[in-house]
Structure 1
Amino acid sequence: MNSETKESVTAEHKNNRNRCLWYRQPASQWQEALPIGNGRLGGMIFGNLAQEKVQLNEDSVWYGGPKKANNPDARQYVPEIRKLLSEGKQQEAEHLARMGLMSAPKYLHPYQPLGDLLFYFLEHNKQAEGYHRELDLDTAVATVQYKLDGFQYQREYFSSAVDGVMAIRLTTGKPGGLTFGVHLMRRPFDGGTRSIGSDMILLQGECGKEGVEFRAGLHAAAKGGTLRTIGDFISVEQADEVTLLLAADTTFRSEVPEETVLRQLDQAARKGFDQLKRDHIADYSDKFNRVTLELNVESSADRTEDRGGGGIDPAALPTDSRLKRMQEGQDDAGLAALYFDYGRYLLLSCSRPGSLAANLQGIWNDSYTPSWESKYTININTEMNYWPAELCNLAECHEPLFDLIERMLPNGRVTAREVYGCRGFVAHHNTNLWGDTHVEGIPVSASIWPMGAAWLSLHLWEHYRFGLDASFLEQRAYPIMKEAAQFLLDYMVEDKQGRLVTGPSISPENKFMLPDGTAGNLCMGPAMDMQIVFTLFTACIQASEILAQDAEFRSQLAEALPRIPQPAIGRHGQVMEWLEDYEEFEPGHRHISQLFALHPGELIHARHTPELAQAAKQTLERRLSHGGGHTGWSRAWIINFWARLGYGDTAYEHVKQLLMKSTYPNLLDAHPPFQIDGNFGGTAGIVEMLLQSHGGEIALLPALPAAWTEGRVTGLRARGGFEVDLEWKRGGLTRAVLKPGRSSLCKVYAGAGGAALNVRCGDTVCETKREGNLLVFTAEAGKCYVLSPS
């Protein structure tokens, strides 16, 4: 890099430093390393001097293969389990369910690392000066800079979705100053590495007898010095600049992955690093820059690290120092904005069209036996991964989840038939690369939950609600939604009160206490089940009406709806988690499943259902008073709950708690251990504080905290096909811009007690009417509507 370019980049970083994660030291552990990814190929950058490490992942490197694991005895025991539950024989029902419903084998196989890219630098065992390690969210490029013996060294890293490769460039101001060896290793499951010519090595291996086979290739090019292979290393000697390109593939995608790897490396090498980087940044920034968020920028603009008396601008501090300041009680609205941008960056980096869906760790996993197998947990975690996709104008990032659901569909039909004797499509609380749907695991508290397919199918409906693509609804969304609803129509039974209820089922991972002191998991009709059923049936009815098809099926759903139990209020003023008002075994439990109706559902609304909203508030307060929100993703869900209830200051307090208690130095979510769902749930929660679009209306700044006195956000999306920009000062809306993708009646809620709003389209003041605090007007597709105080 020439001096002019370096100065330009430095100036840009000064202007956009709140969109960088940066540090003054290398990562000493994985939770400090910086993630890069192109949806499919990921790396964790440590930035060590003498022995650098880039930990690698490829999204289809899963151990083992698909399993036909449905319990062959299940179907005959489901009626008996229901009977035992109806007779109050809790332990007997759970004992039989453990044997009669659980699959064999019990657990799905894990997602695993691809391996490590390891560097050994000659003459780097010295103290460096001016060390700087960063991840620029504007460009998705990680950089390490330092000085040794007065000479500047720089490394750049990115993973390109355009070219399918990871690219690394090492440069130095010292002539011939780069001498190192680099190789690929997968300890202890290394299948061997061989050299190809003098500039390439190829790692090969497999993930078990039935698992995928993989290949990873590393290509090197140097300016100055010499390049050769020695053993399974590429040796670079006295070079001025080195470019490394890495590609990987598996038999999940390619019959001969080695051919794919070699082709990608050849094509990328012909392009050269500079063009690869330009194409990568253009592709990434086009998507990332759809949305911008700025919080309290003007009020902190005069505070710099160097000006006495003005305080410290937190954005001038390293990211780990900012986290530490917040843990010490200092506020930092800019860190919340950085966290929001980081969530969008992570989604773009681990879920792209053609990649696999983001698993429990996105794509970044360094363990061969990761916690919970790093798979897809679909009783909240996978769904939470995709909450920001539509809101943050990254709808295409949702597509890998739809692909996963379609892989699950044939398996789910078999499980529905073999386990329950039902039509349609069912899945339980976990799935994997191959879309397995059986009753996975051994704990009754988690495994016997036949609602995974129903909840996942609602993501297709949400995609339609934001984009209004009728062909997507007809060809992809509605057929899957219909099969998930068909299963539930067959699966539900009538209880003694004539209600239709699911069961056997559970309220995910929570237990209740019977009057005799017995702890129970298994039940009939838990609140979350019934809320999901009602939401799905309602969505299917609306979809069939939009598509003008399936009138008979629509009639069956409409007949069932009034018999589905609705959210109820219990003795403590809380939303009941079960059909009976049981005491909870663990009042501070991390799952708050009975509030699905509040978020992501819409059955509980802050203004439309005030009694239930108050009960939801009481539910949250009880959970939190007993230590709830102690995991990252649970805290993230709580942010969304409080935002939906309209409590902005409380929601922001939980944003701060998420950062203080459940965030690692690299800003990845600490469950603990790392799970990426907290990052995505927190990102979605920040949007919900600024913009909501449920209950048939768009709400502007519905939960704005007092701490965010001024700010602006652009490019957010609202249901109904709208894109929305917002500006505010002193806690009040100053300007909103709505861009409809389709002509429709628009209802806007701008907050009780707020200033009256004018609506303009160009120079024309639009005709509006008011319904309480709602502003109602007709919006035409392709036009821009500006809302501002009178």
Structure 2
Amino acid sequence: MNIIALKKTPFLLLIVLSVLLIQCATRDTISQKLVMRYNAPAAVWEETLPLGNGRIGMMPDGGIDTERIVLNDITMWSGSEDSAAFNPEAINYLPEIRELLLSGRNLEAQELMYRHFRCGGQGSAFGNGKDAPYGSFQMLGDLHINYRYPQTDSVSFYERTLSLNDAVATTQFIRNGITYTREYFASHAHDVLVIRLTADQKKSVSFEVNLSRPERATGFIKEDRLYMEGQLNDGYNGENGVRYLTQLEIVNNGGNLVSSGNALSLSDADEAVILISTATDMLDKNHISTVEQLSVQAKSKYYDQLKYAHIDSYKEKFDRVALNLGKQDNITPTDERLIRFQADDDPAFAALYFQYGRYLMICGARESNLPLNLQGLWANQVQTPWNGDYHLNINLQMNYWPVEVCNLSELNKPLIDLTTSLVPSGEKTAQTFYGAEGWVAHMMTNPWQFTAPGEHASWGATNTGGAWLCQHLWEHYAFTQDRAYLESIYPVLTGAADFFLSSMIREPKHGWLVTAPSSSPENAFYLPGKKEAVYVCMGPTMDVQIIKELFTNILFAAEILGINDETTAKIRETIPQLPPMQISPDGHLQEWLEDYEEVDPQHRHVSHLYGLHPSNQISPVTTPDLAEAARKTLNRRGDAGTGWSRAWKVNFWARLHDGNRAYKLLKSLLEPTSGNEVKMSSGGGTYPNLFCAHPPFQIDGNFGGTAGIAEMLIQSQDGYIHLLPALPARWTNGSFKGLCVRGGAEVGATWKDGKITKLTLEAKTNNTFRLKVPDHAIAIKKNGKELSVENGFVPIGMKIGEKLDLDVIYPA
């Protein structure tokens, strides 16, 4: 069957395609049309447009004469299990390290840790681990297309676009009076990469394609198919590295297809479709046959079948949520809109950015695959920055902040699976390094279940990475109320708790139980009278907050599951012995047990505000004194920082119900930037393709920004639904639908002049939802009848599947 022979499509197929088109058109009436547009080819990778289906992806640059399309597979990881990481000598130094900390000699303890209390082997190789056992996430390769034209006249009416509604990118321009069009998508339905090349005059499509990779790649041609295969380094130059295979095939309408060397060439065709099928053996031991099967299946479909099946599959997730903050400008180039946003404050651009984050989540994550890493799915190097791994002191977790509230709950599964997979390694780490029970993960991990302390204690000593992951396990239950799921992950939660119950020690001043040794992620302080940076400490505030949250969640889970055992008894006994959050004499929240002087008061990490967000231990409603201390902490820290740091601060200010300050940080996150030099002290911002600049690109800032916008619109962490808790003055009128709340419901709202006028609730579980009455409202009505109000809240009992439309009434 000819994949592009649409003119020969049977009548029945035309009917099917018409139905698909109608479905897509109907869905588009629910959401705004959302288009990213550019008037020139991408000059650098940070201007290219990302496409993906959660497993594989590509980023075309839209070049006219030559085009580079970077290809990705989320399982392209070098490295392997690193048994050397379990340093057997480390535990011999633990008693001395703790004694030094207990006597206030942190610097000596730190020096001892630098030498001995760290992972064995190379660890992450300080972020350059592609040839170490730790490994690195890597690009799959490059697809190069060299185009040939009848004449080389100048180009006019050039544009590149990405439809967020459809997950389809296009490049179009006119040359020598001929309109050339390219369409690209990573099929969510058929799991292949698809590129269609057309022209509005016959015999005008001519090009040559080849595949390449900077290293560890062999290319060949077989039966007019282009192949690239290889094996990544397992860290030992052995046979255990990940193997991959990529197959490219051209399905042409007219023209002459020939192969030469390691390239395919097509001349004088009317149109052509490039199909790319690729896989690795990391999660698929039959990856070679998978590549062939996916290619055969895709080739058996008409192009429009491929395209609309892809769109329909993608839109099932994307169309769950809509956000309207004003009329979208789909004409002005997106890079210009990014620049203008600093002056025009276009609310619709913020809505575009929000939905772009959801787009990246849907296209970067798949239920049965690896989690999003530091670069999501997309990388253009074999040695990605910081190995493109999973940093557990904020970055991996930030990737998943939007998932539940933004109605993509099933995409939490890769993170849940990763967390569960760390338990056996984490148990060995707990025993090897601490002589402790349970399991532990430190600052970083990878697909090979690395859980040991990093190779440098200044950042590698943090030992609450696994416990922080457990917060996401609990949040998935909080939003879904899935009891069977809760029962399945309960042992993971209690295993994490067992580590702290068996490893914490008493600090000498108050007798509190604390972690030791540890650190407040990547931030340093001065000991009194000293001027040497110290990272290693006991019981930093973030550790205490994470442990208390873990313990509290376990007690909630135990009550739901009817469990009362030795672990729950120990937790109840231990919680009162944890340090309280302390407010310094200056009024800010202390980051450490002592009110140390920070080396960098404007440090990008604000870890001690974990209790404000993502946790809910600090709240303007329930703990106003701590909330005020958090406010002073943020003012002291300042609004600058790297990309993800600015994104986190959006969420902080939203939790403090300060919409205008949250918006100020959102604008800071969206400051235009260019270049790709790694400077930790330099500012962050956003690249022209709206990727977040750490710098360089890290995708966590995108997801943190999307989550921050959601926090500005809806919150539910305090046991009730709070609508528009941090609405900026700029967002006077608007609406959203499909955002989710804890307890198991979808919510929609419409507001005018900053006041909610209508709202909708749809129950996903049987539950009673408490709705905070909006400020200045005098009643909430259902079908014209007022609902009862109790202390400023409306309790609404609902059955699963039930939908309610409510009106909010204000004084005349």
Q: Which residues in structure 2 correspond to 1:77-116 (within 5 Å)?
A: 77-103=93-119, 104-107=121-124, 108-116=134-142
Q: Paired residues, what number? A: 763
CA distance in 2, matches of 1:40, 1:343: 17
CA distance in 2, matches of 1:774, 1:605: 18
Question: What does residue 230 of structure 2 align with?
Answer: 205
Evaluate the alpha carbon distance shift between residue 458 and residue 125 of structure 1 in structure 2; reply closer, same or farther with a 3 A threshold.
Answer: farther
Unaligned runs of 5+ in 2: 8-13, 125-133, 673-684
Contact 2:32 2:322 in 1 (8 A): no
Partner-residue secondary structure (3-state), 1:105: coil
Question: What does residue 196 of structure 1 align with?
Answer: 222
Q: Does 1:292 align with 2:315?
A: no
Instruction: Name the aligned partner's letter for residue 409 of structure 2.
Output: A
Question: What does residue 377 of structure 1 align with?
Answer: 391
Question: What does residue 497 of structure 2 align with?
Answer: 485
Deviation at 1:551, TM superposition (A): 2.8
Q: Does 1:629 align with 2:654?
A: no
Question: What does residue 543 of structure 1 align with?
Answer: 557
Contact 1:512 1:584 in 2 (8 A): yes
Partner-residue secondary structure (3-state), 1:668: coil
1:45 to 37, 49, 60: 60
CA distance in 1, matches of 2:279, 2:92: 43
Q: Does 1:232 align with 2:262?
A: yes
Partner-residue secondary structure (3-state), 1:52: strand
- How large is the RMSD of aligned CA atoms in angstroms? 2.2
Instruction: Name the aligned partner's letter for residue 176 of structure 1.
Output: K
Question: What does residue 754 of structure 1 align with?
Answer: 776
Question: What does residue 789 of structure 2 align with?
Answer: 769
CA distance in 2, matches of 1:17, 1:785: 23
Q: Which residues in structure 2 correspond to 1:593-742 (within 5 Å)?
A: 593-624=607-638, 628-661=639-672, 662-742=685-765
Partner-residue secondary structure (3-state), 2:98: helix
Q: Does 1:587 align with 2:601?
A: yes
CA distance in 2, matches of 1:271, 1:315: 32
- Detail structure 1 runs of 4+ shifted over 4 Å in the superposition: 1-5, 7-18, 762-765
Question: What does residue 566 of structure 2 align with?
Answer: 552
1:150 to 173, 177, 182: 177
- Give % identity: 41
Deviation at 1:759, TM superposition (A): 4.0
Contact 1:407 1:434 in 2 (8 A): no
Evaluate the alpha carbon distance shift between residue 371 and residue 250 of structure 1 in structure 2; reply closer, same or farther with a 3 A threshold.
Answer: same
Question: What does residue 515 of structure 1 align with?
Answer: 528
Deviations 1:99-125 (A, max 9, x none): 222112231321111000110111275
Deviation at 1:653, TM superposition (A): 1.2
CA distance in 1, matches of 2:153, 2:75: 39
Contact 1:293 1:714 in 2 (8 A): yes
CA distance in 2, matches of 1:133, 1:523: 52
CA distance in 1, matches of 2:30, 2:574: 58
Partner-residue secondary structure (3-state), 2:537: coil
Contact 2:143 2:211 in 1 (8 A): yes
Q: Does 1:786 align with 2:809?
A: no
Deviation at 1:788, TM superposition (A): 2.4
Q: Does 1:462 align with 2:475?
A: yes
Evaluate the alpha carbon distance shift between residue 757 and residue 125 of structure 1 in structure 2; reply closer, same or farther with a 3 A threshold.
Answer: farther
Q: Does 1:324 align with 2:356?
A: no
Contact 2:30 2:322 in 1 (8 A): no
Q: Which residues in structure 2 correspond to 1:489-500 (within 5 Å)?
A: 489-496=501-508, 497-500=510-513
Contact 1:171 1:240 in 2 (8 A): yes
Question: What does residue 272 of structure 2 align with?
Answer: 242
Q: Which residues in structure 2 correspond to 1:393-432 (within 5 Å)?
A: 393-432=407-446
Deviation at 1:126, TM superposition (A): 4.2
CA distance in 2, matches of 1:408, 1:558: 26
CA distance in 2, matches of 1:238, 1:318: 33
Name the TM-score, length of structure 1 as normaliser: 0.93
Deviations 1:114-170 (A, max 9, x none): 000110111275421111100100000001111111111111111113211111111
Instruction: Name the aligned partner's letter for residue 389 of structure 1.
Output: V
Partner-residue secondary structure (3-state), 1:634: helix
CA distance in 2, matches of 1:614, 1:788: 34
Q: Does 1:118 align with 2:153?
A: no
Deviations 1:511-554 (A, max 9, x none): 11111123211000000000000000000011011011243321
Unaligned runs of 5+ in 1: 298-312
Contact 1:359 1:376 in 2 (8 A): yes
Partner-residue secondary structure (3-state), 1:778: strand
Partner-residue secondary structure (3-state), 1:434: coil
CA distance in 2, matches of 1:693, 1:11: 31
Instruction: Name the aligned partner's letter for residue 559 of structure 1.
Output: E
Contact 1:512 1:582 in 2 (8 A): yes
Instruction: Name the aligned partner's letter for residue 151 of structure 1.
Output: I
CA distance in 1, matches of 2:318, 2:25: 21
CA distance in 1, matches of 2:765, 2:290: 42
Deviation at 1:571, TM superposition (A): 1.9
CA distance in 1, matches of 2:367, 2:466: 21
Contact 2:779 2:786 in 1 (8 A): no
CA distance in 2, matches of 1:212, 1:566: 47
CA distance in 2, matches of 1:654, 1:242: 46
Deviations 1:448-474 (A, max 9, x none): 011111000111110000000111111
Deviation at 1:736, TM superposition (A): 1.3
Deviation at 1:506, TM superposition (A): 0.3
Deviation at 1:406, TM superposition (A): 2.1
Deviations 1:292-315 (A, max 9, x none): 000034xxxxxxxxxxxxxxx854
Deviation at 1:89, TM superposition (A): 1.5
Deviation at 1:251, TM superposition (A): 1.7
Name the TM-score, length of structure 2 as normaliser: 0.91
Deviation at 1:676, TM superposition (A): 0.1
CA distance in 2, matches of 1:201, 1:777: 60
Evaluate the alpha carbon distance shift between residue 708 and residue 390 of structure 1 in structure 2; reply closer, same or farther with a 3 A threshold.
Answer: same
